[in-house]
């Protein structure tokens, strides 16, 4: 059996499922993003643990991406990170304070499993503060893990239950999808593909909505193209003082 081809087929099948089933939720999420941009607000993006941080990086200062992305980077839960730091309680209050998240803001929370304490506290605190939320996650971990699993938030809640707009990644329990004889664990995770497809679909829809209203979308050009940096200068002038890492 061609296992690489099987991996490819599973990725394509997952992306098709997202495109078919999540179209309306992606549109709703993009409407929130377009609304924030119209009101000259930032879009805060938090990959709340481990490799989910790659989603934040995918959104931030990316050629063809939005310039108004405020990435939430927290060293303790990035890669490399402190093992199990994403399970710490009480961490999120300081994260929100550091990045100045407040009522009326828009926060995108991206987490593969959608159950750890930092993820759930982020969603709960956002609700408490009147911050709008888009959650990009799957449901299989919440379904398959007991409520008292050590990696869960004490509430037993899952991200998809708490956000204003939920976009399903359809990743399987365990994430990896390929079995190899003689290998105890499956290999080849698919979360990164699902996340990137969803996030860039949100950017596409946001740009479409803004353009249809006669508003120029704040899209970054590649700096490795002729005049790329010059073409981006108006965006740097607009956002650099407001985005910590830009």
In total, how many domains does the chain have?
1
Residue 246 resides in a domain: no
Residue 133 lies in a domain: yes
Can you give the CATH number for the domain in which 209 is found?
3.40.50.10490
Q: Is residue 238 part of a domain?
A: no
Nearest alpha carbon to residue 195 among 74, 61, 59, 87: 59
pLDDT, tens only, 188-238: 999 999 999 999 999 999 999 999 999 999 999 999 999 989 999 999 999
The number of beta carbons lying within 10 Å of the beta carbon of residue 164 is 17
When pLDDT is averaged across residues 57-86 and rounded to a whole number, the result is 89
What confidence tens digit (pLDDT) does each residue in 24-41 have? Answer: 999 999 999 999 999 999
Angle 20-24-28 from CA coordinates, rounded to 5°: 145
**What angle is formed at CA 51 by the lines to CA 50 and CA 55, rounded to 5 degrees?**
120
Say what the pTM is.
0.95
| Residue 64 domain boundaries | 3-219
236 lies in some domain: no
Residue 237 within any structural domain of the chain? no
Q: Rounded to whole angstroms, how far apart are CA atoms 192 and 124?
A: 25
* Percent of the chain clearing pLDDT 70 (strictly above): 99
Q: Please write the tens of the pLDDT for every residue from 92-144.
A: 999 999 999 999 999 999 999 999 999 999 999 999 999 999 999 999 999 99
- DSSP per position, 89-101: TT-HHHHHHHHT-
pLDDT at 81 over 80: no
**155 domain-assigned:** yes
Is residue 242 domain-resident?
A: no
- Cα 190 to Cα 11, 102, 114: the distances in Å are 7, 33, 15
Let me know if residue 225 belongs to a domain: no
* pLDDT surpasses 80 at 1: no
**Do the bridges between strand 187-189 and strand 176-178 make them parallel or antiparallel, or are there none, so unpaired?**
antiparallel
């Amino acid at each position: 059996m061609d296992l690489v081809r099987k991996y490819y087929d599973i990725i394509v099948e997952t992306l098709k499922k997202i495109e078919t089933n999540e179209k309306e939720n992606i549109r709703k999420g993009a409407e929130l993003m377009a609304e924030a941009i119209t009101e000259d607000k930032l879009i805060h993006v938090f990959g709340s643990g481990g490799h989910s941080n790659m989603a934040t990086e995918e959104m931030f200062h990316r050629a063809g991406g939005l310039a108004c992305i405020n990435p939430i980077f927290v060293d303790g839960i990035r890669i490399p990170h402190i093992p199990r730091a994403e399970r710490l309680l009480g961490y999120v209050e300081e994260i929100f304070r550091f990045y100045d998240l407040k009522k009326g803001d828009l926060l995108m929370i991206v987490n593969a499993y959608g159950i750890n304490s930092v993820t759930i506290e982020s969603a709960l605190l956002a609700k408490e503060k009147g911050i709008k939320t888009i959650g990009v996650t799957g449901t299989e971990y919440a379904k398959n893990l007991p409520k008292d699993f050590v990696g869960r938030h004490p509430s037993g809640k899952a991200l998809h239950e708490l956000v204003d707009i939920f976009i399903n990644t359809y990743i399987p329990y365990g994430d990896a999808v390929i079995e190899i004889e003689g290998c105890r664990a499956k290999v080849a995770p698919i979360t990164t593909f699902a996340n990137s497809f969803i996030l860039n679909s949100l950017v596409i829809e946001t740009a479409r909505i803004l353009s249809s209203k006669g508003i120029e979308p704040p899209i970054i050009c590649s700096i490795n193209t002729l005049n790329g940096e010059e073409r981006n200068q108006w965006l740097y002038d607009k956002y650099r003082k407001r985005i910590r890492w830009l």
